[in-house]
Each structure stands twice: as structure tokens, then as C-alpha cells.
Amino acid sequence: MEEGKKRMAVLVGCNYPNTQNELHGCINDVLTMRDVLVKRFGFDLSHIQLLTDAPAAGRSDIMPTGANIMKALGEMVDRAEPGDVLFFHYSGHGTRIPSVKHGHPFRQDEAIMISLKYLGFLLTNVDFRQLVNRLAKGASFTMLSDSCYSGGLIDKEKEQIGPSTIPTRDPAPSDDHKPKSIPFETILQHLSSLTSICTHEIGTHLLELFGSEASLKFRLPLHGGSILWPELLKPDDGILLSGCQASEISADMSPSPAQGGAGKAYGAFSNATVLKEHSGQLSNRQVVMMARQRLQANGIEQHPCLYCSDKNADAVFLWQPQENYKSKIHKMLVNWGWWS
């Protein structure tokens, strides 16, 4: 990598311990990813921030509250310079919430569910859009979300690999397979019990509980019953690799030793990104397609997707173009006045 260019990452794993929605493989996912980033992609360990909600080897003391996650992501984005590579890996629950956009009364938007004691904090597709909009020109922001309903988690990002033409359905729960989702109705009921406010508008509950820390989706100025979105529509260099389509669930796997899993839990998509099994460079498109193939081979009914610009679809995963040797020599000669 060219000298002076930074590689930075925020890794978030939420297992929701001691709740009825507890998962088992999410912290394992981000610990594995941390090793891959260092050993394969040249990330400095000091530039990787790890946030988990249960004790784990080498984890930071920062808990994955919504405020802490957005602070870590915001600081990473604000430090970015042209050529820098930024990466966000989330493994945990996802959900869908009714859209508050004008003209989309029946649409549902994507969100991730941050919970320490099942508090109900949501980060939405609008929050990730706003982060990408702040990104320095020439830097990249890659998001890998191993969560349910994760397709489209960066709002307005162009779909490159999207919904499968094959009809899909939510797989039935099994002993080794748990969906990484919390139903919206469950979240709303819990938030209502905390605020004692009688409304089905989830934004009202979140603003009451979290105020200025609530998702940007619910803090944007309202005008005539619709939300103003002009700053959210400009071109960007965000890259989303989602664990499934916006209408699907992602699986948290807890295979027994008899099933060849040595008892170690993991997220199906995180495990299927096959980064450790290929020594060569893979494009963002190849990573997603190979993950689809691997999940299908293992009988897991979820379809990873890719959302990014046309240019970034075939760009190498977690890699930025660098000047070749000849161009560097030419630049040196020009700077020395030996070449025009």
C-alpha cells in the first residue's frame, strides 16, 4: 500500500447475552475478521476498533451502544483522506421499520438493532447514508453487515447484486440455526413499555428515550408530514455487502461437533465471505457471488447482495488503486525538472 494511506476499521459484534434474543456467533465473527484484516489486508491493529457486548479475548472496553458505534464510525470517517480504506463489519440483529418517507406509506426501511439489555436502540439506513456522504473524496467506505434484512442498509446506494429470481422464504429455525432478527412489533412493544407513550410511531419513542442520539431518520426536519432529504442524494463511494436481501433473514449458526463445526458459533454470511480461502485479490462482486454459492451449497436460504457504484462493483475488495512504478518514476522526474 502507498505510504501515508490509512486502513481503518470498526468491528461490532452483538450477541445480546442473557436476553430472549441471544445470539452466539457474532463476537466470533468480528474477532475472526480482525485477524483477517491484519494478516491478509495489511490493517494495523491499532487502527481497528472492536466493540462487543460480552467478554471476549482482546476486546476493547468500549461497549457497542448506538452512541459509541456512531462516534467510532464518525471519527473514522472524519479522519479519512483520499486513498484511505475504511471498513465497518457488523454482526448482530437486524429489523425492518415502517418508512417515514413521503410517498412510501407501505415501504419498510432497514435498520440494525443495538442492544445491551434489550433497550431497543436502532441505527438505520439513513445513518449510514449520512456517514458515506461525509467521506473524503477518493476514500472508500466498505460495510459488511451480517444481519437480517440488511439489503439496502446504505440508503440510496445502487443495487449491483440484488434480489434473487428464485422465490425465497424464511428458513425454519433449527438446533444449529437461529435468525438474526427482532420483529418490529417486539421492539415497539418494548419501547412503549419504557416511555408509557401510546403511539405506534417508533420515532416518538426513540426521540423520547435517546434525544439527540436517536437515529438521524427520526431527527431530520419535518415539513408538511414529509422528511426533507436533499443532502442524502449526492453520489458517493460507499460499498455495502449485505448478508441477505432486504426481505430475508441471516443465520446465526451454532453447529455441533457432529456437524463438523467443532461447536464454534458463527454468522453464516461472515463465514461464507471466503476471504481466508483465496490468496489472490477478489472484487466486491466476486466476494458476494462466492458467498452466495457457498451458502447455497450449505443449504442456507439467504442471498447476499452488493450495493455500490458501477466502478466499485468490480474494484478489489478492501483495496485502493495505487500508482504503478512507471507513473511514480515519471512524477519524480517532473518534480526534479528532468521531464515535462
Catalytic residue among 14, 148, 244, 308, which?
148
* Catalytic residue status for 200: no
Question: With 50 as the cut, is the pLDDT of residue 319 above it?
Answer: yes
CATH of domain 7-335: 3.40.50.12660
Cell of 115: 442492544
Higher pLDDT, 107 or 59: 107
Q: What is the pLDDT of residue 167?
A: 42
Count of CB atoms within 10 A of residue 54's CB? 16
Question: With 60 as the cut, is the pLDDT of residue 332 above it?
Answer: no
Query: Quick one: which of 60, 64, 65, 122 has its CA closest to 97?
Result: 122
Higher pLDDT, 197 or 109: 197
* Rounded Cα–Cα distance for residues 284 and 295 (Å): 17
Amino acid (one-letter) located at 165? T
| Residue 33 burial by Cβ neighbours in a 10 Å radius (0-12, 13-18, 19+) | buried
Question: With 60 as the cut, is the pLDDT of residue 228 above it?
Answer: no
Instruction: Give counts: helices (H), strands (E), the chain.
Output: 10, 15
What global pTM score does this model have? 0.83
Domain boundaries, the chain: 7-335
Q: Alpha carbon of 30 to those of 36, 88, 155, 165, 327: distances in Å?
A: 10, 10, 24, 31, 38
CB-CB contact of 320 with 271 (8 Å): no
Q: What is the pLDDT of residue 162?
A: 86
Catalytic residue among 93, 244, 305, 308, which?
93
What integer is the mean pLDDT of 78-107?
A: 82
- pLDDT band per the 50, 70, 90 thresholds, residue 326: very low
Amino acid (one-letter) located at 151? G
Amino acid (one-letter) located at 40? R
Residue 86: partners with Cβ closer than 8 Å, 6 or more residues away: 8, 9, 76, 77, 80, 135, 139, 140, 141, 142
* Catalytic residue status for 93: yes
Higher pLDDT, 148 or 62: 148
- pLDDT band per the 50, 70, 90 thresholds, residue 45: very high
Length of the chain: 340
Q: Report the alpha-carbon angle 207-212-218, nearest 5.
A: 50
CB-CB contact of 247 with 153 (8 Å): no
Count of CB atoms within 10 A of residue 97's CB? 22
Higher pLDDT, 176 or 203: 203
Residue 246: partners with Cβ closer than 8 Å, 6 or more residues away: 96, 108, 110, 149, 150, 151, 152, 163
257-284 residue pLDDT tens? 554 545 689 999 999 886 666 667 899 9
